[in-house]
Each structure stands twice: as C-alpha cells, then as structure tokens.
Amino acid sequence: MMTLESFEKAAEKVKEVTLPTNLIYSDYFSQMSGNKVYLKPENLQNTGAYKVRGAYYKASTLTKEELAHGLITASAGNHAQGVANAAKLFGTKAVIVMPTTTPLIKVNRTRSYGAEVVLHGSVYDESYQKALEIAEERNMTFVHPFNDLAVATGQGSIAMEIFKELPTVDIILVPIGGGGLAAGVSTLAKMLNPNIKVIGVEPANAACMKASLKAGKVVSLPSAVTIADGTAVKTPGDVVFPYIQKNLDDIITVEDEELIVNFLDVVENHKMVVENSGLLSVAALKHLNCKDKRVVSILSGGNMDIITMSSVVQHGLIERGRVFTVSVQLPDRPGELVNVANVIAQLKGNVIRLEHNQFVSINRNAAVELKITLEAFGHEHKEQIVSALRDKGYDPKLENPTSLY
C-alpha cells in the first residue's frame, strides 16, 4: 500500500539523487488561462525527467540479492535513464528494453549510465513483453515503469514538494502514460488535502486511462499513436488503477497539435525545453473550466532529440501563423519580383526563401510562379500581407511550407 509514512520516507530518500525543482510562476500561462499557474520543472532533473524518483526509491527497497541479479525494465526513455542511473549508484548492472521509435537522445543517455540497451517493438507494450522474457532468461529483477507501488510512491514525492512550496494549491495537472505518476501524486495529494483536485492529462490518441475509468476496469487500446512518446501506452497499470479510481478527479485529453504550439510557448516564455509528454499538463490549461485557481502543471520531462525539436518548432511556427508560404503568378518581365518584394517589405514581412518557377506555363510572358516563404508576427499579420498582394492583383494562394531551410 501507499501510505503517508512511505511517501515521507520516499520524499527523503529521493533527495539523494534529485535536483530542487522549485515551482516557477508563469505570467504567460496565468494570463492565458485566467488562473494562477505554476510550473513544476521535472525536465530539469539530471536524467531529464521525474522518473529518477521512482526508480531510485524502488531500488532502495530491494534486497541485496535482488540488486545482485541486476535490474531490467522496459521504457520509452525516461524511466530507462532512471533505472540505469539507480543501477549505477547501487553498483549493479542494468538492461533496458526500449521501443525502436525511441528518440536517439534517450537511447544514448541511457547507455551513458552503463546500461545495456535492447531496442524492440514500436510501442512500450511490445518492449515490455520482451523485457519480461529477458528478465526470466537472465534471472534479473524487473522494475516496472508505472505498475509498481514503490515506484509510484517515489513519483508521489513530487506532490510533497508542491505542498511544501504552495500549501494553498487548488489543482494539480499531471501527465498520464501508464498511471504511476498520477497514482502517486493524486494519492499523496488527497492525503494532504482532500479538497484538492488532481487532474490527469493524456494524449487523445493514447487515452488508455480515460477508457479504463469509463469501463470501470483496465482496458487496452488497439493502438497508441502520438508524438508524446513517453505516454504512448496502450494498457494502464492494474496495480495502480484502484488508486487512480479513488483519487483522480478527472482526465483531460489533448490533441498532438496542441502540444506543438505549447512547445513554442514554453521555450519562448520560460527558456526551457520540455518534451511532448511533459507538455500535456500545459496544453490542458486551456481546457480547465475555472478561473483564479492556483494551478500546478507538472512538466514531467525534457528529453527531446534535435530532429524532433526542429520538426516541432517548424510546425509550431506554421500553426501560429508565424511562418507561411504564398504562391503568386506574375509575368516574366523585369521589375515584377521587385514589385512583389515591395508589397511584402511595406508590411514588415520577412522573406525566408524564394522559389521562382519559369516553367509553370508554356507562355512565360503570361505567367511564371513565385513561391515565397515568409516570417510574420501571427495570423493577423499574415492575412494583411496576403490581402495586400491580392489588392495588387497577384491572386495569392497559401501553401504549407515544406521546409524553413
């Protein structure tokens, strides 16, 4: 069982491996949501995520014999680093099974702790089955990423820290994958203040916990396809599920597109990199039906590889209307390009790229195609530029940029 005594013990134990992640008050998200929003930046942990808490506390509860067998787990990356780090600190070996889709940064960082990494399956559930096979073959101690009460207790130490800093907190938003973090945080939160609301947040395309709560039992989704790879879980934990049923007040689901624009918001307003799963609690702010409440969003991790980051930034800029491509057709004669450039310059548009296609028509005097990728201040500014080009007779057509480079 998860008890207040075990939570207190875990909160002290994890201090041996965690960095202080003091709450950050967010003016931007407070104004946007109409609430008083605080961020709990677990993305700033040494391993880049909160998972170090549960893994280390779990390892501390194992016997010498269990530790000597070595630790094994399955993980999309953050729990992997937590277990690998715990194994290193406790002087034992670690094997981590990760989905083949795991970002390279998570794979490399896991290996940097001395762990053996096995890539298997496209989602966590497939990696999990492989890890169980290896655990039996090699007689290793399996450390479940979420379906373990000791692990969940370690994760719940986050709630202890939140209450110490902000005793008057009204709502805690917590990302959900398999349910370990949500179970630990919600259980301790209700022990400390039964009136607090703890709301879970899941990707819309991987909402296994919401489906399970609706069914009144653990159910499996046919798929879990989302850019929030750390929460791409098809089946939640049956061990932690009763704690979720009892202590979680609600679940909000968010679309992947919402995570993309919130990545930009956090980078630009708080100068932090937060991975897509960690952004779930930020994206949920717009879905809250309340005002003037003290809300804490748990940023669960920040392990995002550069390629994914580049893609998210590009799509985020497009979604916000800050980058767009417009095509116009114009006669192939001197001065036409300058005329178009002048229209854009007068409205302070910034040209990123030009593509001049002279072969769009057999009659070049009739029309050549000019594609312009522009930087704007947002959708309103974008529409001003498009309207100005239209007023000059260019019949502009909006297209999605294929690349910013």
pLDDT value for 293 = 98
124-129: Cβ within 8 A, 24+ apart: 124/74, 124/75, 124/76, 124/99, 124/177, 124/178, 124/224, 124/232, 124/233, 124/234, 125/220, 125/224, 125/233, 125/234, 125/235, 126/99, 127/74, 127/75, 127/76, 127/97, 127/98, 127/99, 128/74, 128/97
Q: What is the pLDDT of residues 19-61, one digit of tens each?
A: 999 999 999 999 999 999 999 999 999 899 999 999 999 999 9
Q: Average pLDDT, stretch 170-182?
A: 97
Per the residue annotation, which of 40, 51, 93, 190 is the catalytic one? 51
Q: Average pLDDT, stretch 391-396?
A: 90
Residue 113 and residue 82: Cα distance in Å, rounded?
A: 9
Which residues is 253 bridged to in the sheet?
202
Q: How confident is the model at residue 77 (pLDDT cuts 50, 70, 90)?
A: confident
Q: How confident is the model at residue 153 (pLDDT cuts 50, 70, 90)?
A: very high
pLDDT value for 308 = 85
**321 compared with 106, residue with greater pLDDT:** 321
pLDDT value for 365 = 59
**208 compared with 401, residue with greater pLDDT:** 208
Torsion of CA 199, 280, 231, 94, to 10 degrees: -100
In the block, tokens 């655990």 appear at: 135
Judge whether residue 364 has pLDDT over 70: no
51 is catalytic: yes
pLDDT value for 362 = 61
pLDDT value for 399 = 85
Q: How confident is the model at residue 122 (pLDDT cuts 50, 70, 90)?
A: confident
- CA-to-CA separations, 116 to 91, 156, 238, in angstroms, rounded: 14, 28, 28
Q: Is the full-model pTM beyond 0.85?
A: yes
Residue 358 and residue 370: Cα distance in Å, rounded?
A: 9
User: Per mean pLDDT, which range of 17-26, 169-178, 344-353 is the poorest?
Assistant: 344-353
- Average pLDDT, whole number, for the chain? 93
Q: Average pLDDT, stretch 154-171?
A: 98
Per the residue annotation, which of 58, 186, 300, 382 is the catalytic one? 300
pLDDT value for 105 = 78
User: Per mean pLDDT, which range of 215-219, 252-256, 300-304, 327-331 is the poorest?
Assistant: 327-331
Q: Tell me if 220 sits within 8 A of 214, measured CB to CB.
A: no
Q: Tell me if 323 sits within 8 A of 399, measured CB to CB.
A: no
Judge whether residue 390 has pLDDT over 70: yes
Q: What is the CA radius of gyration of the chain?
A: 25
pLDDT value for 169 = 98
Judge whether residue 62 has pLDDT over 90: yes
300 is catalytic: yes
Residue 92 and residue 76: Cα distance in Å, rounded?
A: 21
Q: Average pLDDT, stretch 349-375?
A: 80
Please state the separation of Cα 234 from the chain's center in Å. 17
Judge whether residue 253 has pLDDT over 90: yes
Percent of the chain past pLDDT 90, that is, above it, reads 79
Judge whether residue 354 has pLDDT over 60: yes
Q: Average pLDDT, stretch 71-98?
A: 94
pLDDT value for 110 = 92
Q: How confident is the model at residue 323 (pLDDT cuts 50, 70, 90)?
A: very high
pLDDT value for 405 = 52
Judge whether residue 286 has pLDDT over 80: yes
Judge whether residue 361 has pLDDT over 80: no
User: Per mean pLDDT, which range of 36-40, 58-62, 126-130, 357-361 is the poorest?
Assistant: 357-361
Mention every residue, 6+ apart, whose C-beta is less than 8 A from residue 276: 226, 227, 228, 229, 230, 256, 259, 263, 304, 312
pLDDT value for 49 = 94
Q: Tell me if 397 sits within 8 A of 327, measured CB to CB.
A: yes
Q: How confident is the model at residue 305 (pLDDT cuts 50, 70, 90)?
A: confident
Both tokens of 337, joined, read 């390009």
Q: Tell me if 39 sits within 8 A of 23, measured CB to CB.
A: yes
